[in-house]
Structure 1
C-alpha cells in the first residue's frame, strides 16, 4: 500500500523531473564515453597483440588520439555531473527546509511541543539529506539501470548473441534479489529512527533533570535505564547493518557468477573450443569483458542506493506530518507577525471545536477588555486551546486582532537585552527603559556591564522570575489587543507567583486577557471563567 509519505516522495520526484532528466542525459553520455574509451583501448590492444608491425604503425596513431579524447570526455562529463548532482541536492534540501520552516513559523511552539528536540535535530541532520540523496542518487540510478542495459544488450547481439543471452538471463536476477532482500529495510530503518529518537530524548531529559536526579539519588536507576535503551538501539542498528551486508553479498555473488560465465565463454571462444554464435576475435572478446562489468556495476550501484530508498521512506514518514500542514490560516499568521490590520472585535462563537486533540464548546464569548480565567486539570487542553485561539492549531474559530502569548518558560535569546525586547523592530531607548521600569527590572538592568547592549549568552544572568518579567516587557511592547497567558508563574515559588501575578494584572488592566493557571488567583481579577472538563469548555 502506498502511504501518504511515499506519495509525497513521488510528488517530489515529479517536481524535479526536468533536473533529473538532465542528470540522466549526462550520466548516459558519461557511460557512452566510457564505452568508447574501452572500445578504442580494445582495438589498440588487439592491434598490438594480433597484427603485424606494419598495421601497428598505421593504425595506432589513429586509435590513440580517439582513446585520449574519449577518456578526457569521460572525466569532464563525470566532473560536471558531480557538480550538477551537488547543486540539485542543495536545492532539494533548501526547498524542504523552507517548507519545514514555513510550518514552524505558522504553528511555532504548538508544533515544536509535539516532537522531541532529538527529532528536530534528526530532521535537519539526517531526514532532509536522506530525501535529497534519494532523489539525486537512487531515482537517477533507477532510471539509468533500466535504460543502459537494454541499449548495451541490443549493441552486443550482433557481436555475439550468446553473450547477450547470458546477460539477459543473469541481469534481472540482481534487482530481483535486491528487492527481496531490501523489502523489509524501510521498516527496519523506521524502527531504528524511532529507537534513536527515543534514546536521544531520554538522554536530553535526564540531562535537564540532573539536579533533581542528584537530589533523589537516582543516578544508578537512570543509568540502568539508559543502558537498556542503548542496548535496544544497538540491536536495531545491527539489524539494519545485517540487511545491508546481506544485500551487498547477494549482489556481489550473482554478479561474480555471471561475469565468470561470460569470461569462460569468451576465453574458450577465442581459443576455438566453443563455437556458439559469431566468431569472437580478440578485440571483441576484450571489449565484452570490459563492458559487461559496467552493466553489473550499474545494478550494484542501484542495490547500494536501494538502502537510500529505505532511509528516505523512513525520513518521509517522519517529516511528512510536519510539511503536510499547510499554512491555511493566513489571518492567524498575520496576527502572530503583527502585519494585519483587522481590528479586535467582540466574539460570540457557537460550536467551537478543535479536531486534534478533540476539544469543543457550545458557546464562547469574549468582550473587549475582559479578563478570562482558564482552568482545568493538567493535560486537559489549556495550552492547546490558547494555541488554537492564536491560530497555531487548526480549529473552527480563531481570534482576530493582534495576539501575544506568554508561556510557562520565557524564551531568552543569546542576543542583547535590547534585541530580546525589540524582536527585529526599532524602538527608542526611552521606551525600552520605561517598560523595564514598569516590570520592575531597572535594578537588574543597572547591574549589567553594558546595560541594554549586554549579551544574554547561553546562560542569561536572570532568575526565573526575572526571565518572566523580561518576557512580559517584550509582549507589552508589542501593544497587542489580546494577551494570552499560559501559566506564566508555573515554575516560580509562591512568593514570586504572587508578585508577578499582581504585576501582570496591573499592567494588563486595559487589555483583553485569557489567563490559564493552576495556581490561585483572585476572583475579582476576572469577569468570567472557562473550565475544561473531559474535552469540553464550560463558561461561567
Structure 2
C-alpha cells in the first residue's frame, strides 16, 4: 500500500459535520448484514398479522360457538415460534455487525493515535484517550445492535398494521395514525436531554481517568510530600461526580421509557374502549349496531399492542442513539486531529553519499489557536552535522521537532528534507532514518529486551550487546537479577532517569538511524549524570546528523553549531 492510499484510508470519515453522519458512515461493509436484518424484520412484521388473525379466529370461535379450532391454534403457535426465531437471528446478525464496526473503528483510532505520536497530547491526556478508544467505542454497541435495526422496524411494522387495519375500521386506523407521532415527539424531547447528560458523563469519566493515572504515576511523590490523603479525596470527589452523572443518565432513560409506556397504554386503552363500546352497541353515533364483528374486534385488539411495540422499543433504545452521538463527538476529535493532506504525492527521499544540506528551514513558523508556537526561522543542517538548539520554554523547540517527525504539518514557510517539502515526502521512509529520544521516553509493560527490540527485526544477541556496551547500559543491566529479562513498567519503574536515557540511546543505536532528534535528554538529570549521558551521546553519534533540543542548563561543548531560539527568531551562537 503506497503512502497516498494510506492517507486516504486514514482520512475516511473526516468530512463529517456531525456525529449522526459519522455513525451512519461507520456501517460500511456491514450494510449487507443490516439488509438481512431488515428482511427478517419485515417477515416478522407480516407474521404479526398472521398470528393476530389466527388467534382472533380462535378466540371468537371459543366465545361464540364454544369450539376450538386446532388449525388456528397450530397456525398461531407456528407464527409465534417463527417470529421468535426470526428475532433471534436478527439480534445475532446485528450483534455481529456491531462487533465488526467497533473492531474496525478501534483499529482505526489506534492507527490514528500512532500516526499523531506526541501530537495526541493536544487532544487529551493518554488516560482520557484510552477511555475514548475503549469505553466510548463500546458505547456504540447498543446503537448498532439495537437502535439501528429498530429504526427500520418502527416504519415497517406500523405500516403493515395500518394497511391491515384500514379496510376493517377507519376509526381504529385514525387512532393509530394520530397517536403514533405523539409517542415519537416525547421520545425525541426526552432524548435530547439524555444526549447532554451522556456528554457530561463521558467528560467526567475522562477527568476521572486522567486523575487516576496522574495519582498512580505520582504516588511516590505524593507519599514523600504527605499529600496522599488530599489526592485520595480529590479522586473520591471525581468518582462521586461520575456516579452522579451516571444516575442522571439512568433517570432520564427511565423517564423516557415511562413516558412512552404511558402514551402507548393510553392509546391502546382508546382502541379497547372503542371496540368494547362498539361490541356493546353503545357508541353514540352507532347505537343499536356494532361497527365490527367479534373476530375483527379481537383482531384489532391484538394488533394494537403490536402497533406501538416498535415505537416503545425505539423509545427505550433512543437513549442508545444519544449515548452513541455523545461518544462519537469524542471519537471524532481523534479522527479529525491529523491535518495531513490526503492528496500528497509519494516522493522517495534521496540517500546521498556526499555531505549535503539534509534539512532546510525557510521562514518556517507555526501558529496554534492564534498563539504563536514557533516564530519564523530560517536555517539549514548538513548531513553529519551536530546541532544544539537551546532556548526558553514555550519558544517552539519541541514544535520544530514535531514538524521534523511528521506529526505537525500546519506550519507556514518551508521545511525541506533533501530538497523536498516534508508534507510531500514518504514519511515511512523518512522516519526509518530517524531516532527520536524524547524527554520522557515511552515504554511498554514488558522486559528490557522487548523494549529494546520493539518494532525492530533481525536483531541478534551480538547487536544488542554491542548497543548496550556503546551506551554503557550494560553496566547496570548486569547488576539486575534477571538482566535483559528484567520487567519494566510504562514508567520504567526501578530504573533511574540516567539509566532510562541510556536504554533510549541503546534503542536508537539498534535502529541504525542516521538522523537523531533529541528533546531535552537531560532535563530530569542531575549535573553529573547529565554530563555522563551527554558524553555517551557525543561518542555514539559521530558521523550522524544530530539535533539536540535543550535549555542552557547543561552546556554541550562538542556540537558543530549552537543555535539559540528566542521569541524574535533563530540565532547562531559563536
Question: Which of these residues, 45, 49, 56, is aligned with residue 42 of structure 1?
Answer: 56
Determine the structure 1 residue equivalent to 2:520: 487
Q: Is the 8 A contact 1:349 1:364 kept in 2?
A: yes
Q: 1:428 aligns with which of 436, 460, 463?
A: 460
Q: Deviations over 1:463-505 (max 9, x none)?
A: 3322221121011111112101111222222221121121112
Q: Which moved more, 1:189-198 or 1:170-179?
A: 189-198
For 1:32, the equivalent position in structure 2 comes to 46
Quick one: distance in 2 between partners of 1:333 and 1:504?
36
Whether the 8 Å CA contact 1:380–1:535 is kept in 2: the answer is no
Q: CA separation in 2, counterparts of 1:278 and 1:21?
A: 43
How many equivalent pairs are there? 530
Query: What per-residue deviation string (whole Å, max 9, x for no partner) do you get for residues 45-78 of structure 1?
Result: 222232254xx4xxx2422332333233212212
Aligned to 2:376: 361
CA distance in 1, matches of 2:321, 2:568: 41
Cα distance change, pair 4–331 in 1 and its aligned pair in 2 (3 A)? closer
Q: Give the equivalent residue in structure 2 for 1:253.
A: 262
Q: Identify the residue that residue 438 of structure 1 maps to in structure 2.
A: 470
Point out the more displaced range, 508-517 or 356-365: 356-365
The whole-number CA distance in structure 1 between the counterparts of 2:150 and 2:62 is 37
Matches within 5 A, 1:521-536: 521-534=554-567
The equivalent of 1:205 in structure 2 is 214
Q: How does 1:332-481 map to 2 (within 5 A)?
A: 342-343=350-351, 346-356=358-368, 358-396=373-411, 397=415, 399=417, 401=430, 402-423=433-454, 424-449=456-481, 451-456=483-488, 461-481=494-514
> In the alignment, which residue of structure 2 is the partner of 1:281?
293
Decide whether the 8 Å contact of 1:383 with 1:486 is kept in 2. Answer: yes
1:510 corresponds to: 543
Q: Deviations over 1:331-362 (max 9, x none)?
A: 99999xxxx76427523231323344643424
Structure 1 stretch displaced more, 401-410 or 228-237: 228-237
Q: CA deviation at 1:242?
A: 3.2
What is the CA RMSD across the aligned residues, in angstroms? 3.1
Q: 1:444 to 1:258 in 2, by over 3 A?
A: same
Matched position secondary structure for 2:120: helix
The equivalences for 1:45-124 within 5 A come to 45-51=59-65, 53=67, 56=68, 60-112=69-121, 114-124=123-133
| Separation in structure 2 between the aligned mates of residue 330 and residue 246 of structure 1, nearest angstrom | 46
- Cα drift, residue 193 of structure 1: 1.5
CA distance in 1, matches of 2:277, 2:250: 40
Q: How many angstroms does 1:419 deviate by?
A: 2.8
Give TM-score scaled by structure 2 length. Answer: 0.83
**Residues 80-101 of structure 1: per-residue CA shift (max 9 Å, x gap):** 1112111100111122112212
Q: Please tell me whether the aligned partners of residues 443 and 489 of structure 2 are also in contact (alpha carbons under 8 angstroms).
A: no
1:278 deviates by 6.8
TM-score, structure 1 length as denominator? 0.88
Q: Contact (CA 8 Å) 2:452, 2:506: kept in 1 or not?
A: yes
Structure 2 gap segments, 5+ residues each = 1-15, 419-429
